Amino acid sequence: MSQFQTIERYQPTRSTYQLLPFRFTPLDEHQYVLTNLAGEYIVLNRPSLHDLLAHRLSNVDPAYIDLRARHFLMDESAAITPTLLSLKLRTRYQRLAEFTGLHLFVVTLRCEHSCPYCQVSRRSQDTQRYDMTPEAANAALTLAFRSPSQHIKIEFQGGEPLLNFPLIQTIVLEAESRNQTLGKDLAFVIATNLALINDDILSFCRDHAILLSTSLDGPKDLHNANRPRPGGDSYERTVRGITLAREVLGHDRVSALMTTTEASLSRVHDIIDEYVAQSFNGIFLRPLSPYGFALKTRSYHAYNTERWLTFYRQGLDYIIELNRRGHDFAEYYASIILKKMFTSDDPGYVDLMSPAGIGIGAAVYNYDGSVYASDESRMLAEMGKDTFKLGHVLTHTYEDLFTSPALLDPLEESFAYSNPMCHDCAFEPYCGAEPVYHYAMHGDFVARKPESEFCRRNMETFRYLILKMENDPFAKRLFLQWANR
Amino acid sequence: MLKLSGRLPVLQNLNGAPYLATVTKDEHLAPDQKQTRALLMSEGMNPIGFKAILTKEHRRVSPGQDSDVFQLREEFEYLCDGDIIRLDPSSGSMRCLYRRNSDHNTILLTEQCDHYCLMCSQPPKRIADSWLLTEATELISRIPQETTCLGFSGGEPTLYGRAFIDLLTHTKTCLPMTAIDVLSNGRAFKDISFARQYAAIQHPDLLIGIPIYSDDPVRHNYVVQSQGAFDETIRGILNLKSLNQRVEIRIVIHRQTVGRLVKTCEFIARNLLFVDHVALMGLEITGFTRPNLEVLWIDPYEYRDVLSEAVGVLNSYGMHASVYNHQLCTVNSDIGSNYRKSISDWKNEYLDECRACSRIQDCGGFFSSSKNHKHSKYIKPFR
C-alpha cells in the first residue's frame, strides 16, 4: 500500500551513534558481557563488540537494535534514552536516602552451643559480663529510631539471644510504644538456634509479629558435627523448634540459614534435600565468613574459593533441576544478584552494596553498648581490630556515630565505582564494596582486587549465572522469578 | 454483530436538524421530559409531545402527531429503555451512542489522528469533526450515573487540547462513579503542563491506555507511521506517572511486533515498571489491517509460545498483564490467569464449530471482523 512507509523510512538519517557509559568483561572464550549504568547486561561475541566500539556497527544489525533498546548506545531515533537511563540509575540508589533500616541488637554473647566456626559466642554463665544492659538497650533504641528510614527492622542477635529473652521483651514493648507516635514500618527478628524455644516465647513472638531466623546446616550428622552443644542434639532441637514455631507463628514466619564448612563441601545435595524435607522454599548457600573463631581455628583456609565455587555451582544446578521437575525452590544468594541484574531495586544485602552497606545498610549495637558498622565489624572487633567501631550508645550522639571517620572513611575509600579494577569491571553494578572483609584479609579497605577472594568468588558467580541464562531458557525464566521474589 | 448505526425510513420530519434522544417505552412522561425522548412505539399507543417516535410498523402517521417519526428496522430491535441515540430526521441516519445494558460503551471523540498505524481499526480522516466533541458533551449529560464504565476513543482525543480536559472534567461532574478509559497515543503529555492539566482533573477512576509497539524506537515509529513518536509517547507516560496518573500500556500483536514482543515486555518491566496495566492484544481485522493484512497477519497459534513468554516476563515482575482478543484454543494454558474476555459485546462472535466447545463460556471468541475476514487456522473445540 503506497500510503504507508516502509521501516527503512524511520531509520536514523545519519549512521553515527553515541556510546553510553558501559563496561565489558570476557564471559568465556568467545563472548563478552556488557553492562550499562543501570546494571542491564547484554552478551556479544568478540567481532560485534569490536564493531560497536569502533562505531562500525550497522544500525540494522540485530545487536545494534538490542544495544539501543537497552541503553548501551543512542542515536537520533531515541532521544529519550538518557532520561530513562538516569531514571533507572536514580532508582538503584534511592535506598541511600533512606539510610539505616536494619538495627542489630546483640542482647547477649552467651550461647549454649560451641560451634567451632562461630564468630562471636561465649560458653559462660556470666550475665554481668556478656549481657546487654537495659540502659544500653534503651539508648540503642533511641539511636535506631533516629534513622530517617521509614522501615526499621530490629534483629536480635547473640550469642543465643533467647538466653536474655527478658531484655528482648523489654525492647520490643518499648519500641512499639515509641512507634505509636512515629508510625514507622517496624519489624522484629530473632536470630536463634531454637534450642531453647518454648510456648511462652512463641506466644510473645506471635503477639508481636516477631520473625524467627534459625541455623540449619544440613542433614542431622552434618548439622550436629558443625554445631556441638551439650547432649549433641542441636539438629533435633532445631527441627523441633522449626515445627513448633511454624505451628504458632505460621509457616513463613520462620527462616533458616546454613553455614558452609569443609565438611559441607561434598554434600551440597544432602544439604538442599534437608531444606526441601523441612519444607523451606529456598536456601542461602553461604560462603564461610573469615571472622572470629573461624579465622583463629584456621577453618576459613581449610577450603579455598575454587572449592566453594564448585560446591555452589553443584548446588545451583541441583536447585534448577528441582525446579524443572516442578518443585518451587530458590537459592537466595543468586536471587540477590539477579535482583541487581534485572531490576532497579537494590536488595540491600550488606556484602553486595556500593557504597558499602556498613552503617547504611545495618548498624550493630553490641552487648557492651559499643556501636559497630556491621555484624562483621563486631566480629572483627572480637579478633582485636576495632577499626569499624563507631562509638558507644551511652557516650556518643547519633550524629557522632553516623558521621564518624570510622564509618565515612571506609565508605568513601571502598566505593567500588571509583576503585582500581572495580571501576572497569562489568560486574561492578552487581558487586559490593565490602571494606570490612578486605580490611580483615588484606589490611586496607580496598585491597588489590586480583588477590581478593571476595572478588574472585563473586566474579565467577556472576559469570556462572549469566552463562546459565544464556544456555538454558528455563533457567532464564526461573531466574527472572527469583529476581522479583 | 450489532449494527450501531444506519439509515431509517423517515415517516415524518418536523425538527430538521439532528439531535440526541433517550429511548423510552413509557408513553406517560412529563411534557418537558418527552421533548428529550424517542418513544419506542407499541400497539395501542397514541403518543403526543415526544421529540421522536420509533415505530416498527410502516404506516401512516396519524394526524396531530407532533414528533419526528422513524420506522425502526429489525436490526435495531435491540434498542431499549435508557439507550441514547442520535437521530437526523432529514437523512434518517440513526446512531446508537449508549446502550444501557452494555459494559462496552465507547464514545468516539474524533477521527483525526497524528498517527497512521498500520493496523488502525478507525482510520483517521482529515475533516473537521469537533461536532463529535459537542455531541459527546451532551451525551455525557444524559448518561445515567449508575453506569459502571465508559470509554473515550478516537482518532486521537488529546488533539482537542484544553477542550479534551474540559470534557473529562464535565464527565467527572456528571458521572462521578463511572470508570473512564481513554485511548490515546500519549504524545500530547510530553508537555508537562498539559499532563498537569489532565492530573488536575483529579478524576477518581480514570485510566489512559497508551500503545508501545516495540522496545525498538524505529519499529514503534514504523508501526505508527510517525517519526519521533516513541520518544514523545515515552515522555508522555513518564510525565503522567510522575503525576500519579493511571496508565495502561497496550501492545497489538502482529507480524511487525511479535518478533520483539518478549524484549518489549522486558523493556516495559525495566523502564516503565510503574505503569498500572499492560494489555497484549490480538489483531482486529478491520480498518487499515485489511489492506495491510499481508504485512501484519500471523496466526496466533504460531506465536503462542512467544505470548506465554511475554506474559511470563510481566508476571515475574509482578506487573498486571492481560491478554485480550484471543481464542482459548490458540493460546497455551499457562497464560490462563491473564486471559480476558475482552471483545466488546456488539462485535463479539463465535464460529459455527465453537458451538461444540466445552469452554465457550470462558472464551473471548472473535471480532466479527475476524470471523468474516481472517482468523486462526487452528480453531478447535475443546471436548
Of B73, B98, B123, the position where a domain reaches its end is B98
Measured distance CA(B155)–CA(B109) in Å, rounded: 7
| Pick from A88, A342, A477: CB nearest B312 | A477
Query: Would the CB atoms of B230 and A80 count as touching at under 8 Å?
Result: yes
| Chain CA centroid to CA B272, Å | 25
Please indicate, yes or no, if residue B382 is contained in any of the structural domains. Answer: no
A276 touches chain B (CB under 8 A): no
C-alpha cell, B161: 487540547
Report the CATH number that the domain containing residue B19 is assigned in CATH.
3.50.30.10
Measured distance CA(B124)–CA(B230) in Å, rounded: 19
Bridge-based pairing state of the strands B348-349 and B149-153? unpaired
Helices (H), A325-452: 332-342, 375-382, 398-402, 405-414, 435-442
Query: Would the CB atoms of B270 and A66 count as touching at under 8 Å?
Result: no
The DSSP 8-state label assigned to residue A358 in this structure reads: B
pTM for this one? 0.94
Q: Which residues of B touch A1 (CB under 8 A)?
A: 291-292
Model pLDDT, residue A123: 78
Measured distance CA(A411)–CA(A413) in Å, rounded: 6
Counting the structural domains of chain B, the total is 2
Predicted complex: ipTM over 0.90: yes
CA nearest A343 in B: which residue? B270
Closest approach of B318 to chain A, Cα-based (Å): 8
Give Cβ neighbours of residue A62 (< 8 Å, ≥ 6 apart): none
Which amino acid is present at A275?
Y
The DSSP 8-state label assigned to residue B52 in this structure reads: E
B198 touches chain A (CB under 8 A): no
Q: Which of A355, A428, A335, A462 is nearest to A38 (CA)?
A: A428
Query: Would the CB atoms of A10 and B215 count as touching at under 8 Å?
Result: no
| Interface with A, mutate which of B117, B316, B319 (most A CBs under 10 A) | B316
Q: CA-CA distances (angstroms) from residue A374 to A153, A193, A371?
A: 14, 21, 9
| Interface with A, mutate which of B117, B118, B192, B218 (most A CBs under 10 A) | B218
Query: Would the CB atoms of A38 and B118 count as touching at under 8 Å?
Result: no
Q: What is the CA radius of gyration of chain A?
A: 24
Cis amide linkage into residue B9, ω under 30° from 0: no
Q: How many CA atoms lie within 13 A of B312 on its CB side?
A: 20
Helix, strand and coil percent figures for chain B, each rounded to 5: 35, 20, 45
Residue B221 sits in which domain range? 106-373
Measured distance CA(B201)–CA(A376) in Å, rounded: 53
Asked if A275 and A423 touch (Cβ cutoff 8 Å), the reply is: no
Q: Which residues of A touch B260 (CB under 8 A)?
A: 69
Q: Which of B271, B259, B349 is nearest to B298 (CA)?
A: B259
The answer to whether residues B229 and B270 belong to one domain is: yes
For residue A43, list its beta bridge partners: A33
Of B98, B132, B148, the position where a domain reaches its end is B98
Asked if B129 and B243 touch (Cβ cutoff 8 Å), the reply is: no
Measured distance CA(B2)–CA(A83) in Å, rounded: 46
Partner A, chain B 208-237, Cβ-Cβ below 8 Å: 215-219, 221-222, 225, 227, 230-231, 234-235
Measured distance CA(A107)–CA(A166) in Å, rounded: 10
Model pLDDT, residue A1: 45
C-alpha cell, A283: 536456601
Closest approach of B254 to chain A, Cα-based (Å): 15
Closest approach of A320 to chain B, Cα-based (Å): 17
Neighbour order of strands in the sheet with B68-71 = B5-7, B93-98, B84-88, B19-24, B37-40, B52-55, B68-71, B10-12
Measured distance CA(B35)–CA(B49) in Å, rounded: 7
The answer to whether residues B17 and B67 belong to one domain is: yes
Model pLDDT, residue A297: 53
B27 touches chain A (CB under 8 A): no
Q: Which of A169, A155, A167, A153 is nearest to A202 (CA)?
A: A169
The answer to whether residues B80 and B138 belong to one domain is: no
Cis amide linkage into residue B155, ω under 30° from 0: yes
Q: Which residues of B touch A4 (CB under 8 A)?
A: 116, 118, 225, 292
Asked if A67 and A42 touch (Cβ cutoff 8 Å), the reply is: yes
Report the CATH number that the domain containing residue B256 is assigned in CATH.
3.20.20.70
A344 touches chain B (CB under 8 A): yes
Query: Would the CB atoms of A65 and B218 count as touching at under 8 Å?
Result: yes
C-alpha torsion A418→A420→A424→A428, nearest 10: -60
Helical (H) or strand (E) element with B276: none
Bridge-based pairing state of the strands A41-45 and A73-74? unpaired
Asked if B162 and B197 touch (Cβ cutoff 8 Å), the reply is: yes
Mean pLDDT of B328-348: 94
CB atoms within 10 A of CB B358: 9
Q: Which residues of B touch A330 (CB under 8 A)?
A: none
Give Cβ neighbours of residue A291 (< 8 Å, ≥ 6 apart): A119, A376, A379, A380, A382, A383, A440
Question: In the A/B pair of chains, how many CB contacts fall below 8 A?
Answer: 76
C-alpha cell, A168: 528482648
The answer to whether residues B207 and B319 belong to one domain is: yes
Q: Which of B28, B147, B39, B148 is nearest to B85 (CA)?
A: B39
The answer to whether residues B77 and B142 belong to one domain is: no
Q: First vs last Cα of chain B: how many Å apart?
A: 26
The answer to whether residues B233 and B346 belong to one domain is: yes
Please indicate, yes or no, if residue B80 is contained in any of the structural domains. Answer: yes
Which amino acid is present at A240?
R
The answer to whether residues B202 and B77 belong to one domain is: no
C-alpha cell, A259: 553455614
Closest approach of B121 to chain A, Cα-based (Å): 15
Please indicate, yes or no, if residue B378 is contained in any of the structural domains. Answer: no
Give Cβ neighbours of residue A430 (< 8 Å, ≥ 6 apart): A35, A39, A337, A340, A341, A352, A458, A462
| Interface with A, mutate which of B115, B234, B270 (most A CBs under 10 A) | B270
Measured distance CA(A480)–CA(A334) in Å, rounded: 11
| Pick from B217, B231, B316: CB nearest A484 | B316
Across B50-59, B80-89, B136-145, least confident range? B50-59
Asked if A366 and A372 touch (Cβ cutoff 8 Å), the reply is: yes
Please indicate, yes or no, if residue B381 is contained in any of the structural domains. Answer: no
Helical (H) or strand (E) element with A22: strand A22-26
Asked if B223 and B118 touch (Cβ cutoff 8 Å), the reply is: yes
Partner B, chain A 121-150, Cβ-Cβ below 8 Å: none
Q: CA-CA distances (angstroms) from residue B24 to A331, A481, B33, B83?
A: 65, 55, 10, 8
Please indicate, yes or no, if residue B153 is contained in any of the structural domains. Answer: yes
Measured distance CA(A269)–CA(A310) in Å, rounded: 12
CB atoms within 10 A of CB B182: 25
Q: Which residues of B touch A483 (CB under 8 A)?
A: 316
Query: Would the CB atoms of B270 and A65 count as touching at under 8 Å?
Result: no
| Pick from A7, A87, A477: CB nearest B219 | A7
Q: CA-CA distances (angstroms) from residue A148 to A241, A346, A401?
A: 36, 18, 15
CA nearest B233 in A: which residue? A80
Model pLDDT, residue B284: 95
Q: Which domains does chain A have, with CATH numbers?
A: 13-92 (no CATH), 97-407 (3.20.20.70)
Q: How many CA atoms lie within 13 A of B158 on its CB side?
A: 21
The answer to whether residues B91 and B198 belong to one domain is: no
| Chain CA centroid to CA A292, Å | 19
A211 touches chain B (CB under 8 A): no
**What is the percentage of chain B residues whose pLDDT exceeds 70?**
100
| Chain CA centroid to CA B198, Å | 21
Q: Which of A440, A450, A439 is nearest to A413 (CA)?
A: A439
Q: Which of A241, A244, A280, A296 is nearest to A115 (CA)?
A: A296
C-alpha cell, A131: 549481657
Per-residue pLDDT for B51 more than 50?
yes
Sequential pLDDT tens for chain A (485 residues):
468 999 999 999 888 999 999 999 999 999 999 999 999 999 999 999 999 999 999 999 999 999 999 999 999 999 999 999 999 999 999 989 889 999 999 999 999 998 888 867 777 777 788 999 999 999 999 999 999 999 999 999 989 999 999 999 999 999 999 999 999 999 999 999 999 999 999 999 999 999 999 999 999 999 999 999 999 999 999 999 999 999 999 999 999 999 998 899 999 999 999 999 999 999 999 887 776 544 555 555 556 888 899 999 999 999 999 999 999 999 999 999 999 999 999 999 999 999 999 999 999 999 999 999 999 999 889 888 999 999 999 999 999 999 999 999 999 999 999 999 999 999 999 999 999 999 988 899 999 998 899 999 999 999 999 999 999 999 999 999 999 98
The answer to whether residues B312 and B350 belong to one domain is: yes
Please indicate, yes or no, if residue B262 is contained in any of the structural domains. Answer: yes
B126 CB-contact burial (10 Å; exposed 0-12 / middle 13-18 / buried 19+): exposed
| Chain CA centroid to CA B165, Å | 19
**Beta strands of chain B (E only): which ranges?**
5-7, 10-12, 19-24, 37-40, 52-55, 68-71, 84-88, 93-98, 106-108, 149-153, 179-183, 206-211, 246-252, 277-281, 321-324, 348-349, 366-367
The answer to whether residues B183 and B230 belong to one domain is: yes
A15 touches chain B (CB under 8 A): no
Partner B, chain A 49-108, Cβ-Cβ below 8 Å: 65-66, 68-70, 77-80, 83-84, 87-88
A2 touches chain B (CB under 8 A): no
The answer to whether residues B235 and B345 belong to one domain is: yes
Q: How many CA atoms lie within 13 A of B233 on its CB side?
A: 31
Query: Would the CB atoms of B235 and A83 count as touching at under 8 Å?
Result: yes
B317 touches chain A (CB under 8 A): yes
Measured distance CA(A245)–CA(A251) in Å, rounded: 8
The answer to whether residues B88 and B140 belong to one domain is: no
Measured distance CA(A196)–CA(B123) in Å, rounded: 74
CA nearest B290 in A: which residue? A1
Measured distance CA(A442)–CA(A436) in Å, rounded: 10
A343 touches chain B (CB under 8 A): yes
Give Cβ neighbours of residue A180 (< 8 Å, ≥ 6 apart): none
B334 touches chain A (CB under 8 A): no
Model pLDDT, residue A292: 53
B118 touches chain A (CB under 8 A): yes
C-alpha cell, B170: 464535565
